[in-house]
Structure 1
Amino acid sequence: MSLLAATVLALAGGGAVLAQDALAGKQAMIVGMHYVVPPFVGGTKVRTPEAVDTALAEALAEGMRARLVAVSTTQVAATAADPAAPRASLIALEPQQSLPATLVTIPTGYKAGAMAIMRTDTDITSWEQLKGRTVCLSEGSRYVGKMASQYGAIEMVKRAPADSLLALRIGSCDAAVHDNVMLEQLLTFPEWKKFSAQLRPSSVSPLVFAVPADDAATVAATKRLAAAWKADSYLAKLNQQRVRDIAFEVYLDQNVPDCH
């Protein structure tokens, strides 16, 4: 959260300041997302979520001086025909999906694909060899369901990346599948050298904001903020912080040795 706050403060001091008059009276920004992170419950373990969607939406809402209201894209679609239902200001999704002309696509700058990591002594050398093997993923992953349907893997869905990666370390699964952007950064840490065997993504997908075309203020503000993120290398910094947090969460929870 400190990284997000610092980024927004930096924007407020530069040329990416969002027009107050264009956004006056905008109390809440409704953002449809693939996965809505459940609210934190006191007494539970702190966990960094799978996707960057929430972090980007939070930064965008704060930069636009609005309150973020996250809803699932399924809910957005279900209420789209209801004129009385609140309309989503933005919808974060992948551009491969069919988008109506009523939406403007704005790239966030984040591109990722499914990557698997395993122990270096694994006998798995291709995605097809995941058939019948246990693959750990986490809630909110776009790859949940795909490992089973495409490769015949046995999916084990954990609460968050830290739980999935911990399961890999202690031998509960043969591979862990997450975004390649996150895993590539994780593998730069010495303590992950023993788990650096990998299956590379065959393709990557850009994450975009899809904004209603008739919401000119939000379209303009989102474009400005996305440009500012690019100029400030915001996404690289965000990923580095997320990976440090995930690695630390695994470290705190690993009370048994790595599998041998």
Structure 2
Amino acid sequence: IDSGPYAVPTAYTGGAGALVTLRGSDYRAPSDLAGRAVCVAQGSPYAHPVTETLGAQVRSYSSSIRAVAAFMAGECQALAEDAPVVARLMGLPEWRFYRRLDAGLLPDNASPQIVIRQDDSRSAAWLDRAVRHWK
């Protein structure tokens, strides 16, 4: 049994990311996160920029929901996620204890963001076309 994952070389990101920290923390600028833990979802297009640009340590979780939960549980000093997702979260009453950092976090479109279980060039090509159509 073929048990990937196999990367589909297509970038489906299109916008910018955002960083969130606890409102009362000492983290006022993205540079303050150097050496600190930042929660991201597995395959996040922000993982590479967080490590390379900010010098932070990425903690990867199996999904965005798990990354958010880990951040809220205090496992990381910040959360890196798509800006529209962060905007929605920040509109919730329970997120009044958090604040967004002005980061201008751009996604890493060089890394594949979609994986499939089997090495299947036809499926990979279909996914690439679907993503390009979606964008």
Aligned to 2:8: 72
2:72 maps to which of 164, 169, 179: 169
1:198 corresponds to 2:100: yes
SS at match of 1:163: helix
Higher relative contact order (CA 8 A, sep 6+): 2
Report if aligned partners of 2:40, 2:60 keep a CA contact under 8 Å in 1: yes
Aligned to 2:92: 189
Aligned to 2:82: 179
Measure, in 1, the Cα distance between the counterparts of 2:29 and 2:58. 17
Question: Which amino acid is the alignment partner of residue 101 of structure 2?
Answer: L
Report if aligned partners of 1:118, 1:198 keep a CA contact under 8 Å in 2: yes
Report if aligned partners of 2:49, 2:106 keep a CA contact under 8 Å in 1: no
- How many residues in Structure 1 have an aligned counterpart in Structure 2? 108
Q: Which protein is bigger by CA-based radius of gyration?
A: 1
Report if aligned partners of 1:127, 1:151 keep a CA contact under 8 Å in 2: yes
Report if aligned partners of 2:18, 2:102 keep a CA contact under 8 Å in 1: yes
* Alpha carbons of structure 1 residues 151 and 201: separation in structure 2 relative to 1, 3 Å: closer
User: How is 1:83-122 mapped onto 2 (pairs within 5 angstroms)?
Assistant: 91-93=10-12, 111-122=14-25
Report if aligned partners of 2:39, 2:59 keep a CA contact under 8 Å in 1: yes
Aligned to 2:40: 137
Question: Which amino acid is the alignment partner of residue 198 of structure 1?
Answer: R
Worse-superposed segment, 143-152 or 178-187 = 143-152
User: What stretches of structure 1 of length at least 5 have no aligned partner?
Assistant: 1-37, 39-69, 74-90, 95-110, 208-217, 227-260
RMSD: 2.6
Report if aligned partners of 2:30, 2:103 keep a CA contact under 8 Å in 1: no
Report if aligned partners of 2:51, 2:57 keep a CA contact under 8 Å in 1: yes
Measure, in 1, the Cα distance between the counterparts of 2:106 and 2:39. 20
Measure, in 1, the Cα distance between the counterparts of 2:95 and 2:50. 23
* Alpha carbons of structure 1 residues 164 and 93: separation in structure 2 relative to 1, 3 Å: closer
1:101-132 C-alpha deviation (Å, 9 max, x unpaired): xxxxxxxxxx4212111111011111111111
Shift in Å, 1:203? 6.2
Aligned to 2:54: 151
SS at match of 1:177: strand
